Amino acid sequence: MKNQGKRSNEPHNFIVAQNTQKVNSSCASNQSTPSNSSPSTYSGPSWVYSEIVKEHFLSPRNFLMGDESKYPYDAEGTVGNPVCGDQMRMFLQIADGRIADVKWKTYGCASAIASTSALSELVKGKTLDEALQVGPVEITKFLGGLPQHKFHCSVLGHEALAAAIANFRNQR
Amino acid sequence: MKPSVTYLDHAATSPLLPVARTAMLEVLDGTFGNASSLHSPGHAAQNIVEDARSAVAKLINASPEEIIFTSGGSESNNTVTETFRGQKIAVSSIEHPSVLESSRARASEVIELPVDQFGRVDMGEISHASQLGVNLFSIMLANNEIGTIQPVSEFSRALQASDKPVYLHSDATQALGKIKIDVQALGVDYLTISAHKIGGPIGIGALYVRQGVPFKPLIIGGHQEHLRRAGTTNTAAIAGFGAAAQWCWDNWSCKKWVEVATLRDQLKSRILQTIPYSSCNSPDHGCLPNILNMSFRAAEGESIQLYLDADDVIVSTGSACASGDLEPSHVLMALHHDAEIAHSSIRFSFGLETTPADIDRVMSVLPKIIARLQGMSTIKLGESHEKPR
């Protein structure tokens, strides 16, 4: 991932909004791009993550605990790989062309869990086309920003949803 | 830090010892002088530095003139690889990045020696590499992520039998104060140590350089440290380092750590007994007394760390230096060649103030955290070739 986020005063290279340039999420590479955070004496949040990320991580919404066979879903999509450190799976219940309900499973870091949690809130009730418009930038904005090296988590979330929707449409 | 916090990240850094703080404040408040100046305040500062040098030297059975103060372990390691610039360097594959990356940047060739499942370099690998014209071996005394202690004295004996001139460096940053270090018995030519792992301040360390071995300074442009490390002497930090080293010596810190190892072993067995799909990455024998690295299948390390943080239990994933790095730990990869195990790991590192209540505290929150993460994980347990413990 290129260091493309706008320079901000936030610590830890937060990306609040980012160009929708395609980010390779198949396996996030070791991002050794030099830090561009501005030096500051700050008394910011206690974590590297925003309070919203923290809240979604500590109290994730709509996750599917345990065996997914107990959840009657119409479509599912999986992206990522545990070998890369992140894997996400979205399960959709679809009625009248809308996402009636959504559940997810994630293996990954706090921002991966928060991204899938946020996404599940963002797309519930939307039509499939509307849901596909919820991209990494929208997820990241909703979360109050993500550290630059964690932006790929929002990309993975979007791709998991897109894979689930494609899975549904391919069934037709 | 809140008193309710259970701090189990001492391998990242340890609290400043009161004696070190006092020694530093005496310098900061009283001894105002450049240790290189000839006037009396300068000389007073120089005396403080030389007393500290003697205390540090004594702790590792070196002579004071063999000790060069540096800014820390990374600088000490870089100084050694700079000395062997353009030459052939052999390192273990689980060295700290300041050895691995600086060797790659400077050596004509780097030979990375593999480790076994416990993180140990095989003697045969050392003997084999010594026949390949290696000029420097750099093998850490104890690993920072898993705690494995290398049989460095055996390696030095093997290298002494070599007919070619070959030198041995050991990064003892994590080992200092935890196990007895005697540079004569180890037979090393260079040894890296750092103050903040033994209750001294951050930003000061030292390099032991045996008399008569090659040396090339990393920082030039000043006569400090007998032309071996330029830069205005950091008197206050050196005083803190000296006080911490003296405290380790006076208090037989290595003996106290044996009791800590008992607590560490208790936590290990309680985790293995209680938490499904847990495994231990630290060796049962030949391990530092304060380090315990565990993996929890299907639960990612950073998430475990931050859920624990929310419950006031402070641990780390692998090494703190690697946080912000998305790659799995090179140490665990060298041991297991399994990225999922590496991504799912947590390092607990204990201090002398760690109590049985801290272990109870961990066990009151960790099983629930792992169960939750495993339950929400995409990785299905029970379908693997591995059996639950």
Query: What's the domain range around B227?
Result: 18-250
Is the same domain home to B279 and B174?
no
- CB-CB contact of B48 with B189 (8 Å): no
| CB-based contact B303 A108, cutoff 8 Å | yes
Is the same domain home to B285 and B218?
no
* Structural domains in chain B (count): 2
Is the same domain home to B280 and B150?
no
pLDDT given for residue B142 in this prediction: 98
Q: Would B1 be classed as within a structural domain? A: no
Interatomic CA distance for residues B325 and B347, integer angstroms: 16
- CB-CB contact of B59 with B248 (8 Å): yes
Interatomic CA distance for residues B172 and B174, integer angstroms: 6
Q: Could you tell me the strand order of the sheet in which B278-280 lies?
A: B278-280, B291-296, B345-349
Is the same domain home to B119 and B138?
yes
Interatomic CA distance for residues B140 and B197, integer angstroms: 15
Last residue within a domain, chosen from B219, B250, B281 = B250
* Each residue's pLDDT tens digit, B300-354: 999 999 999 999 999 998 654 445 567 889 999 999 899 999 999 999 999 999 9
Q: Would B389 be classed as within a structural domain? A: no
Is the same domain home to B244 and B274?
no
pLDDT given for residue A26 in this prediction: 42
Domains and CATH numbers, chain A: 47-171 (3.90.1010.10)
Q: Would B386 be classed as within a structural domain? A: no
Is the same domain home to B322 and B344?
yes
Residue A142 pLDDT level (bands cut at 50, 70, 90): very high
Annotation says A109 is catalytic: no
Partner residue facing A107 (CB), from B310, B327, B379: B379
Within a 10 A sphere around the Cβ of B216, how many other Cβ atoms?
Answer: 12
- CB-CB contact of B234 with B48 (8 Å): no
* Strand, helix or coil for residue B21: helix
| Averaged pLDDT score across all residues of chain A | 81
- CB-CB contact of B203 with B71 (8 Å): yes
Q: 């198949």: which residue's tokens?
A: A26
Is the same domain home to B334 and B282?
yes
Nearest to B43 by CA among B230, B244, B235, B196: B235
CATH code where residue B330 lies = 3.90.1150.10
* Each residue's pLDDT tens digit, B157-210: 999 988 888 999 999 999 999 999 999 999 999 999 999 999 999 999 999 999
Residue A45 pLDDT level (bands cut at 50, 70, 90): low
Q: Would B31 be classed as within a structural domain? A: yes
Q: Would B10 be classed as within a structural domain? A: yes
Q: Enumerate the residues of chain B whose CB falls inside 8 A of the CB of residue A147.
A: 324
Q: Would B387 be classed as within a structural domain? A: no
| CB-based contact A110 B327, cutoff 8 Å | no
The neighbouring-strand residues paired with A106 are A88
Is the same domain home to B208 and B314?
no
Q: Enumerate the residues of chain A whose CB falls inside 8 A of the CB of residue B300.
A: 85-86, 107-109, 112
Interatomic CA distance for residues B103 and B179, integer angstroms: 27
What number is the average pLDDT over the span A105-121? 95
* Strand, helix or coil for residue B93: coil
Q: Enumerate the residues of chain B whose CB falls inside 8 A of the CB of residue A156.
A: none
Looking at CA atoms only, how far is residue A105 from chain B in angstroms? Answer: 5
Q: Would B61 be classed as within a structural domain? A: yes
Q: Which residues of chain B have pLDDT under 70?
A: 318-325, 383-389
Q: Would B170 be classed as within a structural domain? A: yes
CATH code where residue B43 lies = 3.40.640.10
Partner residue facing B340 (CB), from A29, A65, A82: A82
Last residue within a domain, chosen from B250, B275, B301 = B250
* B39 Rama sector, left if φ>0, alpha if ψ -120 to 50, beta otherwise: beta
Residue A11 pLDDT level (bands cut at 50, 70, 90): very low
Last residue within a domain, chosen from B196, B221, B250 = B250
* B128 Rama sector, left if φ>0, alpha if ψ -120 to 50, beta otherwise: alpha
Q: Enumerate the residues of chain B whose CB falls inside 8 A of the CB of residue A13.
A: none
Is the same domain home to B37 and B164?
yes
Partner residue facing A85 (CB), from B300, B307, B324: B300
Count A/B contacts: CB-CB distance under 8 Å.
68
| CB-based contact A106 B376, cutoff 8 Å | yes
What number is the average pLDDT over the span A64-79? 94
Q: Enumerate the residues of chain B whose CB falls inside 8 A of the CB of residue A47.
A: 306, 309
Phi, psi of A150 (to 5 degrees): -110, 5
Is the same domain home to B243 and B288?
no
| CB-based contact B300 A109, cutoff 8 Å | yes
Rg of the Cα atoms in chain B: 22
Q: Which residue of A has its CA nearest to B1?
A: A46
Partner residue facing B377 (CB), from A60, A105, A110: A105
Q: What is the DSSP string of B254-312?
A: HHHHHHHHHHHHHHHHHHHHHSTTEEE-S-SSSB-TTEEEEEETTS-HHHHHHHHHHTT
Is the same domain home to B113 and B242?
yes
Is the same domain home to B219 and B315?
no
Looking at CA atoms only, how far is residue B250 from chain A in angstroms? Answer: 38
Interatomic CA distance for residues B218 and B197, integer angstroms: 23
* Strand, helix or coil for residue B114: coil
